[in-house]
C-alpha cells in the first residue's frame, strides 16, 4: 500500500469510488468533482490524498481550503471531507493511514490547522488520530406555522431576498470566523443547488444585518427554514433582536414555513446566543460534532469560546 497525493490519472477511479459509495451518476459525479476541486478558488489549494494498491485507488481523503480569520489574520485552514475506502479494503486501517499523511507532511502542505464536522461513523477515527472535539454545534428550533405543510415549500423563496447585502461585519475580538468573500461565494455556488437558498436583509439607522437561509422539506409534515449564517454590522442586542422578529414575521407571512432552525456554538461570546430564548428558540437534542487539529502554536483553536460557527460553516450547506 502507498499513500500519496492525488494525480489526474486517478480521477476515473476516484469517481467510481464515489459512484459506488453513493449511487451517483458517473457524468454528474465527474462534473461535481470538477466544480468542487478544479475551480480556481480551490485548484491550487485543496489537498487530495489517495491510498494505492499498485495502480489501484483503494482510498481517498480530501481537505479543501476553508479560510478562517482571527484578529485580522487569515489562516491556511482546511475542512476535512469526502473520505472513501474501497469496499474490498475496509477494516485495514486505510483511513488512519490517509490521516497520518497529514501529520507527516503538514509543513510541506503549509497547513495552519484542520477542522471538520464528522458524522458519528467517522468521529471515532478522527479521535484516534488525535483530533480534538472542543465543541458541538447545538440546534435550536422556533415554531412558525404548524399547518405550513399544506402550502408548497417553494412559496417561501419568493418572499425573501435573492442576494445578501454586503456588510463589513463587526467581528468579536479574538474569535475564529469563516472568511466569506466573493471568490468563496462563487466557488460554493458552482456546486450547490442555488434554488434552495435565499436571504433576509434588514437595515435600520445605519445598521445592517443579513441572514443566509435555506429551504428544506424534512418530511411531508415539516417545511424548514434554516438559518445558515448571520452577518451583522453591529453587535447591538436590540437591533439584532428586532431583525430576528422581522425575520420570523416574514416567515409566517409566506404560510409555507413550519419552523425556523438554527445551529450555533453555545459557548461563543456572540450576541445571538443571548437572544435565542427571548425570541422563542428552543434547544433540541440534535448536535453536530466540530473537530480540530492544529499544526501551529495557538491554544485558542481548542477554546470553545473562540469560534463563531453556524450551519453554513459545513461544506454541505
Q: Report the number of secondary-structure helices (H) and strands (E) in the chain.
A: 7, 14
Residue 242: helix, strand or coil by DSSP? helix
Length of the chain counted residue by residue: 317
Question: Which pLDDT score, from 0 to 100, does residue 172 have?
Answer: 67
Q: What are phi and psi of 71, to 5 degrees?
A: 55, 40
Query: CATH number of 2-111: 1.10.10.10, 3.80.10.10, 3.40.190.10, 3.40.630.30?
Result: 3.40.630.30
Give the separation between CA 46 and CA 30, rounded to whole angstroms. 17
**Edge-to-edge strand ranges of the sheet holding 47-53:** 2-5, 47-53, 56-65, 77-85, 113-116, 282-294, 132-143, 259-264, 222-232, 207-219, 197-204
∠ CA 98-129-78, nearest 5°, is 65
Q: Are strands 68-70 and 177-178 parallel, antiparallel or unpaired?
A: antiparallel
> Considering only CA atoms, which of 149, 155, 153, 157 is closest in space to residue 220?
149
Grid coordinates in use for 285? 437534542
- From the number of C-beta atoms within 10 Å of its C-beta (0-12, 13-18, 19+), residue 107 rates as exposed
Q: Taking each helix axis from N to C terminus, what angle separates 11-22 and 26-37, rounded to the nearest 10 degrees? A: 120
Residue 98: helix, strand or coil by DSSP? helix
Domain assignments of the chain as residue spans, ordered by start: 2-111, 137-313
Grid coordinates in use for 227? 438559518
Q: Are strands 113-116 and 77-85 parallel, antiparallel or unpaired?
A: parallel
Q: Which residues pair with 201 in a beta bridge?
A: 210
∠ CA 178-180-183, nearest 5°, is 135
Question: Which pLDDT score, from 0 to 100, does residue 180 have?
Answer: 84
Digitized pLDDT (tens) for each residue of the chain, 317 residues in all: 999 999 999 999 999 999 999 999 999 999 999 999 999 999 999 999 999 999 999 999 999 999 999 998 999 999 999 999 999 999 999 999 999 999 999 999 999 999 999 999 999 999 999 999 999 999 999 999 999 999 998 888 889 999 999 887 666 668 999 998 889 999 999 988 888 999 999 999 999 999 999 999 999 899 999 999 999 999 999 999 999 999 999 999 999 999 999 999 999 999 999 999 999 999 999 999 999 999 998 889 999 999 999 999 999 99
- From the number of C-beta atoms within 10 Å of its C-beta (0-12, 13-18, 19+), residue 210 rates as buried
Amino acid at each position: 500500500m502507498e499513500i500519496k497525493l492525488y494525480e489526474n490519472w486517478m480521477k476515473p477511479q476516484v469517481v467510481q469510488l464515489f459512484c459506488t459509495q453513493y449511487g451517483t451518476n458517473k457524468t454528474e459525479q465527474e462534473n461535481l468533482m470538477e466544480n468542487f476541486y478544479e475551480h480556481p478558488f480551490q485548484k491550487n489549494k485543496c489537498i487530495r490524498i489517495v491510498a494505492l494498491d499498485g495502480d489501484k485507488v483503494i482510498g481517498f481523503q480530501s481537505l479543501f481550503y476553508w479560510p478562517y480569520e482571527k484578529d485580522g489574520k487569515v489562516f491556511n485552514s482546511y475542512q476535512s471531507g469526502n473520505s472513501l475506502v474501497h469496499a474490498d479494503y475496509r477494516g485495514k486501517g486505510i483511513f488512519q493511514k490517509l490521516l497520518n499523511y497529514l501529520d507527516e507532511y503538514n509543513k510541506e502542505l503549509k497547513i495552519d490547522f484542520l477542522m471538520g464536522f464528522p458524522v458519528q461513523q467517522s468521529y471515532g477515527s478522527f479521535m484516534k488520530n488525535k483530533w480534538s472535539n472542543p465543541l458541538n454545534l447545538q440546534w435550536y428550533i422556533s415554531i412558525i406555522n404548524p399547518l405550513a405543510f399544506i402550502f408548497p415549500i417553494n412559496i417561501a423563496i419568493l418572499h425573501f431576498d435573492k442576494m445578501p447585502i454586503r456588510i463589513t461585519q463587526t467581528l468579536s475580538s479574538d474569535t475564529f470566523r469563516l472568511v466569506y468573500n466573493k471568490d468563496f461565494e462563487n466557488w460554493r455556488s458552482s456546486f450547490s443547488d442555488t434554488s434552495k437558498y435565499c436571504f433576509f436583509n434588514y437595515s435600520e439607522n445605519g445598521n445592517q444585518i443579513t441572514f443566509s437561509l435555506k429551504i428544506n422539506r424534512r418530511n411531508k409534515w415539516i417545511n424548514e427554514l434554516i438559518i445558515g449564517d448571520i452577518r451583522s454590522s453591529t453587535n447591538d442586542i436590540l437591533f439584532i433582536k428586532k431583525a430576528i422578529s422581522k425575520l420570523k414575521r416574514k416567515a409566517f407571512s409566506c404560510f409555507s414555513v413550519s419552523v425556523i432552525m438554527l445551529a450555533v456554538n453555545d459557548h461563543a461570546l456572540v450576541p445571538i446566543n443571548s437572544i435565542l430564548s427571548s425570541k422563542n428558540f428552543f434547544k433540541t437534542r440534535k448536535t453536530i460534532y466540530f473537530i480540530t487539529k492544529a499544526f501551529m502554536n495557538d491554544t485558542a483553536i481548542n477554546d470553545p469560546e473562540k469560534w463563531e460557527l453556524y450551519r453554513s460553516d459545513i461544506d454541505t450547506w
